[in-house]
Structure 1
């Protein structure tokens, strides 16, 4: 069996490991339009600020690919899929035949229709190539404006601020709203402001203003003008579904997959930021563009491409990041559009930057936000993933910061002991 993986993010690594768990000899080929093997995308802000070297970025050592007999075609773009011939056409003109195909094509930055956005001085920040381009500028610019509210925006801002650049983040509503509530968002903003990053929340971007020679002058917002030498646009990421759509594969928010990570074409699988897969808590199918889900989806895709027939248990909304020493994590359902049927408990210590918010539904922990003290995050996550029923005493202990395994059901503990 020949396996071809399009894309080289963390889901590709998961797929390689999943395939090799079930098939030790089948040929594996990775085709990626990036010039480098898989690297830690969350690390590119540290690379930008010279905290780490390029050699630190790879997600697996070079030996990993040799050991697993993986061939790579880097700097190669797939133009089309011929699903009848089971063949890919590359931009070089080469044709590649596959037995099973994994689309791990990730996502591309969204550039909103802001006047002045086209031209020099406007950058994205999702790849090592973007970081390389910005490293050429970081020591020569004085003011940077970052447009966006998510993790990419915050990490780009941190990378520049660490180099002493004046950074302003322009946010249309509030930061990290997908993962954090208003209290957590405020705590993160307060912490980042103390470390020199400026925020303009609830602010709309009207235009990127340029000098007569086309260079950046600044950003015009509905709350005034901000000077800038460079603008980083981090306004979201859109799944790269073009190849799937061209091949007649079902797409919705992302490439729709079944419980075995197969697309509407049983010979083609999808995983990572491009896949619309099952959510562990709701059972709905959605795109969850986060690293743990991408790796897990890739692994299940690899297993099932190799014939293991193991259903994917589902992804989980999760975000864990540290900003200038402030540790944060959110897991599960943390921002409720409708709070009916939910019970929420909160512990807030602003002075020490500690926040704990637990959301229960039907006596089950459905979500948590932890700021400052996150040592027990793994235990909280276990309660969420396993849907353990909790009585009043157990809920109280969770709120006190003691999500002890002693609260796990006996049958669960026995199952773990019998299946180490």
Structure 2
């Protein structure tokens, strides 16, 4: 079989490993518009602040590609797919044939319709190329404004603040609202403010203001002008599904896939931030742009491209990150205010920046938010992922912060022992 993977993120790595699990000999070609092999995208803020070297960014070594007999075409963009002839057209004019195709094209930063956004001094922060461009500036600028409320915005801010730059984050509502509730968000903001990052929450952005020579003056908000030398736009990422749409493949929020990660064309698969795939907890099909889901989707796509016929169990909303020594994690359904059938339990120690919120539904743990103390996160996640039924004692133990594996059902433990 001739396998072609478009994109070179973590889902591509999962796909390579999945294919090789089933097919040791088929040809694998990876095509990426980036100039470097797969790297740890969450690490680019540490690269920006010189905490790590470029050599530590790769997600897999060169030997990985060699040992798996993978051909790479880097700095090469696919501009068209012809599903009838099963050929791709590249920006070089070359064509590439495929037997099975994986679209792992990720996402593109959203560009808000702001006056002044076009021109020098405005940057994104999702790729190592973006980080390289900003490394040229980080020691030359004094003030940076970051527009956005998500993980990318916070990590971009951290990268500059670590270098002593004055950083202000402008947030339309509140930070990380997809994963954290208001209490958790406030704890994170308070912690980051102690580490020299400023916040304007509930603040609308009106314009990126420039001097007569085109250089950045600042960002005009509904709370006044915030001066800046550089502006980072981190207002979200949109699934990069143009190739699929052009080829007549069904799209919605992302490229729609079935339980085997196949698209509406049975020879074309999709995985990662571009895929509209099954959610383990809700059963709905949606885009969940996080690393663990991307890798898992890629792996299932790979084994099914190679003929395994194994259904993907579904992804799960999850976020884990440490901000200046403050560990945080969010798993499952965490923003359920106003929804029927849910019960929440909260423990809060503001002085110590410790927060534990558990969300229950139908005698099961449906989600959790942990700030400060996260040692039990893996155990909480097991209860969420496996939908374990909880009796009164087990529920009380979870609420007390003791989600012991001793509370797992006997049949689950026996299954683990029989299938190590």
TM-score by length of 1: 1.00
Task: Quote the offset at 1:337 in angstroms.
Answer: 4.8
**CA deviation profile, 1:338-390 (whole Å, cap 9, x unmatched):** 33211100000111111000000000000000000101111100000000000
Mapping 1:122-141, distance limit 5 Å: 122-141=122-141
Helix, strand or coil for the counterpart of 1:352? coil
Gap runs ≥5 in structure 1: none
> 1:380 aligns to what?
380
> 2:118 aligns to what?
118
Mapping 1:323-342, distance limit 5 Å: 323-342=323-342
CA distance in structure 1 between the partners assigned to 2:338 and 2:409 by the alignment: 30
Asked if residue 348 in structure 1 is aligned to residue 348 in structure 2, the reply is yes
**CA deviation profile, 1:230-269 (whole Å, cap 9, x unmatched):** 0000000000000000110000000000000000000000
> 1:207 aligns to what?
207
Task: Quote the offset at 1:396 in angstroms.
Answer: 1.0
Helix, strand or coil for the counterpart of 1:358? strand
Mapping 1:266-277, distance limit 5 Å: 266-277=266-277
Mapping 1:16-415, distance limit 5 Å: 16-415=16-415
Gap runs ≥5 in structure 2: none
**CA deviation profile, 1:180-209 (whole Å, cap 9, x unmatched):** 000000000000000000000000001100
CA distance in structure 2 between the partners assigned to 1:52 and 1:414 by the alignment: 43
**CA deviation profile, 1:11-35 (whole Å, cap 9, x unmatched):** 0000000000000000000000000
> 1:4 aligns to what?
4
**CA deviation profile, 1:32-86 (whole Å, cap 9, x unmatched):** 0000000000000000000000000000011000000000000000010010110
CA distance in structure 2 between the partners assigned to 1:269 and 1:415 by the alignment: 31
**CA deviation profile, 1:153-176 (whole Å, cap 9, x unmatched):** 000000000000000000000000
CA distance in structure 2 between the partners assigned to 1:395 and 1:351 by the alignment: 26
CA distance in structure 1 between the partners assigned to 2:337 and 2:5 by the alignment: 37
Helix, strand or coil for the counterpart of 1:373? coil
TM-score by length of 2: 1.00
CA distance in structure 2 between the partners assigned to 1:140 and 1:174 by the alignment: 30
Task: Quote the offset at 1:336 in angstroms.
Answer: 1.2
Task: Quote the offset at 1:142 in angstroms.
Answer: 0.1
Runs of 4+ in 1 over 4 A off after TM superposition: none
> 1:15 aligns to what?
15
Task: Quote the offset at 1:393 in angstroms.
Answer: 1.1
**CA deviation profile, 1:316-337 (whole Å, cap 9, x unmatched):** 0000000000000000000015
CA distance in structure 1 between the partners assigned to 2:340 and 2:14 by the alignment: 38
CA distance in structure 2 between the partners assigned to 1:79 and 1:371 by the alignment: 44
Helix, strand or coil for the counterpart of 2:168? strand
Task: Quote the offset at 1:391 in angstroms.
Answer: 1.1
Helix, strand or coil for the counterpart of 2:183? helix
CA distance in structure 2 between the partners assigned to 1:320 and 1:226 by the alignment: 30
Which range moved further: 394-403 or 367-376? 394-403
Helix, strand or coil for the counterpart of 1:253? coil
